[in-house]
Amino acid sequence: MSTLLNFIHDNLDMFYIVILSIFLGIEVISQVPSVLHTPLMSGANAIHGVIIIGAIIAIGETAPDNYPALIIGFLAVVVGTLNVVGGFVVTDRMLEMFKKRKPTTTKTSHNV
Amino acid sequence: MYNLEASILSVCYLTGSVAFITGLKMLAHPDTARRGNQVAAGGMLIAIIATLVLYRSGGTHLHNYVWIAAALAIGAVIGTTAARKVQMTAMPELVSIFNGMGGLCAALISVIEFEHMAQASPVLHSLIIIAGLVIGSVSFSGSMVAYGKLSGKVKDHTFRGQHSFNLIVLALVLFGIVYLLCRNPGMPGSFVFYTLLALSVSYGVFFVLPIGGADMPVVISLLNACTGVATACGGFLYQNPVMLTGGILVGSAGMILTIIMCKAMNRSLTNVLVGSFGGETSNALPGTEEAHKQISISDAATAMAYAKKIMIVPGYGLAVAQAQNTCHELEKLLIEKGVEVKYAIHPVAGRMPGHMNVLLAEANVSYDLLLDMDQSNGEFSTTDVALILGANDVVNPAAENDPKSPIFGMKILDVGLSKMVVVNKRTMKPGYAGIQNQLFSQPNTNMLFGDAKDVLQKLITEIKGM
C-alpha cells in the first residue's frame, strides 16, 4: 500500500496529466458527425503512433553491441513509423476528398 | 548547456501535446478536419525530432543513430507507399494494420525494457512494462485478425465454449502478470515473460475471431483505444508527457467513439463483444431461396427515367464493384432528365461508420445530395424508386420486426415505404452479417441481379437511348 502511495506521490504530475487527458479526450470527441468517424478513427490512430518516441529512446539507450536488443528496437521503430506516417498520410488522403466537394456545396447553396 | 537542452525538449513535448489536442478537436469537425490532421502531424514531427536531438539519459545523448535513421526511413517509405496506394474501399483494413503496428511497437518496447530491467526494479515499474506488453500484443494480434476478416481472408470462427476458453486464456494472462510482479529475485522471469507475450498474442486472436462482420468497426475502434492505452504505458515508463497525453487522448477518444458507434447500431458494447453478431446465424439458412421477382434492365431504366424522385441507397456491393463513378454518372444523367435524385446513407454503410461518405466523396458526388438516415427515412414515402446498390443489412426489415434476428434493434433505412424498390446485388446470397432479408420478397421489391458497375452502365446506356 505504501509503495503505491509513494508511487502516486512521486508521479503526481503524471497522474494529473492522465486524468485531465481522459476528460479532454471524451470532451473533444462527443458529438462527432458519423461522416467523420472513419477519418477520425484513422487520425487518432496516427496520434497514438507517438509510441515511436518510446521506441527511439529504447533503441537509443541500448548498448551498441547488444544485437538482439538492437534488432528488436529497430523493428519497433520501423513499425512505429509505419503507424505514424501511414496513419497521417492515409487520413490526409481521405480528408482531401471531402474538401473537393466544397465548391459545389457553396455554388448550390448560392442558387438556393 | 545541459539544462537548456532539457528545457527546449520540454517545450517541444508541450507543443506536441497541445498540437495533439488541437488536432483531435479539429478532426471532429468537417470543415477543419484536414487541417487538424496536419496540425497533429506537425506536433508529432516536432516531438520526434526533439527526442532525436535533445533527449539525454544520465547525461549522455542517445546512440545507435544509424539504426534509428535506417528504421525511420524504411518505416516512412513503406507507410507512405501503402497509404498512397490503398484503394478507398480497403481503407478500414489499412487503418487496422497501422493500429496493429502501434500495438506491436508497444510490445517490442516492453521486451527491450524487460531485458534492461534489473531484478530489483520497483514493482510498479515492472507493472507498467508488463501492461505495455499485454495490451500492446492483444492490440497487435487482434488488429491483424481484424484486417484478415475485413479483407475476407479470415472467416468468423466460433466453437463451443469459446467464451470459457477466452476466460481461461485471460486468467492465465493475469496469473502470469501476478507471478512476474511477486517473484523473488532469482526466480525465473524471462520464461514467464515470453509465455505471457505468447498468451497475450493468442488472446487477441481468440478475442476478435468470433466477432461477426458487421461489428468489426466497433472492434477496430476498441483496439485503437487499446493501443492508445499501451502508448500511455510507454509514457509512464519514460516519464514522457507527450506519449502520455497522446496515448490517453486516443484511449479515451477511442472509447467514446466505440460507444457512439454502438449507439448508432443500437447495440451495447457487451453485446458486441459477447454476442458474436451473425457468426452463429450465418449457417442457419444459407441457401434458402425466398420468393422474389426480377426486373429487366429496360424495365428498371424506364421506371427510373419517368420517376419524379429517386433515392439511391449505396452499400458495400457498390464499393466492391468500384462503381461509385458510374453511379455518379447515372445520377447526373437522371438529374438532367429532371428527376430528383438523392442518396440515403446509413451511418454504418460500407465497412466502417462514415466509410460510404468517403467513397462517394471520392467519386465527386455533391455533398448536399447525401442524406443521413433520419433525413432519408422522412423522404422514402414520397420516393418513386429506391435503388439499392449492394446494401443488405442496413435495409433489412428484420431489424425492426424480428426479435430473434441478431440485428434486431438496429435502425434501418425504410426503403419499403417507397413506391418501388429495385435491389441490385450479385446473387441471392445473404449479406455481410449473414442474415436473410425479407425485403427481397416484398411485393414492391424487384431484384436486378448483376455486378453493380455493369448494371449501372447498362442502365445509363438504356436511359440515354430513350
Chain A residues 14-53 within an 8 A CB cutoff of chain B: 14, 17-18, 21-26, 28-53
Query: Residues 117-146, chain B: which have Cβ within 8 Å of A?
Result: 122-124
Q: Do B257 and A29 touch (CB under 8 A)?
A: yes
How many angstroms away from the CA of A112 is the closest CA of chain B?
A: 12
Confidence of residue B186 (pLDDT cuts 50, 70, 90): low
Assess whether B355 and B250 both reside in one domain: no
Mean pLDDT value of segment A14-37:
87
Residues B308 and B225 in one domain: no
Q: What per-residue confidence (pLDDT) applies to B432?
A: 60
B171 — contact with chain A (CB < 8 Å)? no
Interface contact B212, partner A, CB < 8 A? no
Together in a domain, B248 and B306: no
Top residue of B9, B13, B22, B27 to mutate, by most chain A CBs within 10 Å, is B27
**What is the rounded average pLDDT of the residues B73-95?**
92
| Known catalytic residue at B156 | no
The distance of A87 to chain B (nearest Cα, Å) reads: 7
Is the pLDDT at B431 greater than 70? The verdict is no
Q: Which three cell numbers stand for residue B58?
A: 544520465
Which candidate in B10, B99, B109 is best for mutational testing of the A interface (most A CBs within 10 A)? Answer: B109
Distance from CA of B366 to the nearest CA of A (A): 6
Closest CA to B446 of B316, B317, B295, B327: B295
Q: Which of B277, B308, B335 is the last residue of a domain?
A: B277
Q: Cα-flanking dihedrals φ and ψ of residue B291, to 5°?
A: -65, 130
Residue B417 and residue B268 share a domain: no
B90 touches chain A (CB under 8 A): no
Q: Inter-chain contact A44–B63, Cβ cutoff 8 Å?
A: no
What is the band of B288 on the pLDDT scale with cuts at 50, 70, 90? very low
Asked whether residue B345 is assigned to any structural domain, the reply reads yes
Q: B110 pLDDT exceeds 90? A: yes
**Contacts with B298 (C-beta within 8 Å, 6 or more apart), sequence order:** B462
Which residue from B346, B323, B328 is spatially nearest to B89, judged by alpha carbons?
B323
Instruction: Tell me the average pLDDT across B59-74.
Output: 92
Cα dihedral B113, B114, B117, B119, rounded to 10, equals 170
Question: Which of B257, B144, B150, B133 has its CA nearest to residue B207?
Answer: B144
Percentage with pLDDT > 70 across chain B: 92
Candidates B372, B393, B414, B451; catalytic one? B393
Predicted local confidence at residue B120, as pLDDT: 59
Chain A residues touching residue B24 (CB < 8 angstroms): 25, 28-29, 43-44, 47
- In chain B, which among 402-421 make CB contacts under 8 A with chain A? none
Q: What is the pLDDT of residue A103?
A: 44
Best mutation target, B61, B101, B266, B376, to test chain A (most A CBs within 10 A): B101
Q: Which of B413, B412, B407, B397 is nearest to B434 (CA)?
A: B407
Residue A30: its pLDDT value, please?
82
**Confidence at residue A107, expressed as pLDDT on a 0 to 100 scale:** 39
* A8 at interface of B, judged by CB pairs closer than 8 A: no
| B23 interaction partners in chain A (CB closer than 8 Å) | 43, 47
DSSP assignment of B61-117, as one string? Answer: E---HHHHHHHHHHHHHHHHHHHHHS-GGGHHHHHHHHHHHHHHHHHHHHHHHHHH-
- Which of B454, B358, B438, B446 has the alpha carbon at shortest distance from B398? B438
Residues 58 through 77 of chain B touching chain A, CB cutoff 8 Å:
61-65, 67-68, 70-72, 74-76
Q: Output B200 or A9, whichever has higher pLDDT.
A: B200
Of all residues in chain A, the one with the smallest CA distance to B106 is: A51
What one-letter code names the amino acid at B416? G
Residues B238 and B316 in one domain: no
ipTM surpassing 0.85, yes or no?
yes
* Of B361, B367, B316, the residue nearest B342 (C-alpha): B367
Give the pLDDT of residue B327. Answer: 93
Q: What is the pLDDT of residues B143-163, one digit of tens each?
A: 999 999 888 888 777 777 777
Task: Give the gyration radius of chain A's Cα atoms.
Answer: 21
Instruction: Look up the CATH number of the domain holding residue B431.
Output: 3.40.50.1220
> Are B253 and B127 found together in one domain?
yes
Residues of chain B in contact with residue A102, where contact means CB-CB under 8 angstroms, are 367
Cα separation, B278 vs B211, whole angstroms: 8
Does residue B261 share a domain with residue B146?
yes
Phi, psi of A26 (to 5 degrees): -65, -45
CB B211 within 8 A of CB B87: no
Alpha carbon distance B144, A88 (integer Å): 20
Q: State the amino acid at position B91 in one-letter form.
A: M
Quote the number of domains for chain B: 2
- Give first-to-last CA distance, chain B, whole Å: 81
Please determine, for residue B407, whether its predicted confidence score (pLDDT) is greater than 80.
Answer: no
| C-alpha B434 chain-centroid distance | 19
Quote the pLDDT of residue B118: 63
Confirm or reject contact between B234 and chain A (CB < 8 A).
Answer: yes
Residue B328: which pLDDT band, with cuts at 50, 70 and 90? very high
Q: What is the DSSP string of B362-415?
A: HTT--GGGEE-HHHHHTTGGG-SEEEEES--GGG-THHHH-TTSTTTT-----G
pLDDT of residue B142: 95
Instruction: Judge whether residue B96 has pLDDT over 90.
Output: yes
Across the range B260-284, mean pLDDT stands at 64
CB atoms A51 and B352 under 8 Å: no
Residue of A nearest to B125 (CA): A7
**Which of B87, B95, B245 best probes binding to A when mutated, by most A CB atoms within 10 angstroms?**
B95
In this structure, the answer to whether residues B193 and B238 fall within a common structural domain is yes
Which residues does chain A have within 8 Å of residue B79's beta carbon, measured at their own beta carbons? Answer: 81-87, 89
User: Domain extents for chain A?
Assistant: 37-96
Among the residue ranges A5-9, A91-95, B16-20, B84-88, the one predicted with the least confidence is: A5-9
To the nearest 10 degrees (0 to 180), the angle between helices B2-27 and A12-29 is 20
**Cβ contact B298:B374 at 8 Å:** no
Q: Tell me what the mean pLDDT of segment B337-353 comes to.
A: 84
Using CB atoms, pick whichever of B76, B91, B235 lies closest to residue A85: B76
**Residue B451 in domain:** yes
Mean pLDDT value across chain B: 86
Residue A43 has pLDDT above 90, yes or no: yes
> How confident is the model at residue B282, as a pLDDT?
39
- Determine, yes or no, domain membership for B73: no
Distance from C-alpha of B140 to C-alpha of B231, rounded to nearest angstrom: 13
B174 in Cβ contact with B240 (< 8 Å) = no
What CA–CA distances, in Å, run from B233 to A76, B112, B136, B243?
Answer: 15, 14, 10, 9
Q: Name the minimum distance, in Å, from the CA of A89 to any CA of chain B.
A: 6
The CA-based angle B45-B242-A59, given to 5 degrees, is 70
B273 vs A88, higher pLDDT: A88
Q: Counting one residue from A and one from B, how many pairs have CB atoms under 8 Å apart?
A: 382
* B264–chain A nearest CA distance, Å: 9
Residues of B in contact with A34 (CB under 8 A): 260, 264, 347, 353-354, 372
pLDDT at B185: 67
CB distance A109–B70 less than 8 Å?
no
In this structure, the answer to whether residues B338 and B380 fall within a common structural domain is yes
pTM (2 d.p.): 0.82
Distance CA B75, CA B104 (A): 14
On whether both B268 and B326 belong to a single domain, the answer is no
Give the structural domain span for B255. 87-277
Residue A111's pLDDT band (boundaries 50, 70, 90)?
Answer: very low
Q: Taking a contact as any Cβ pair under 8 Å apart, which residues of chain A between 53 and 112 contact chain B?
A: 53-62, 64, 68-70, 72-102, 104-105, 108-109
pLDDT of residue B124: 83
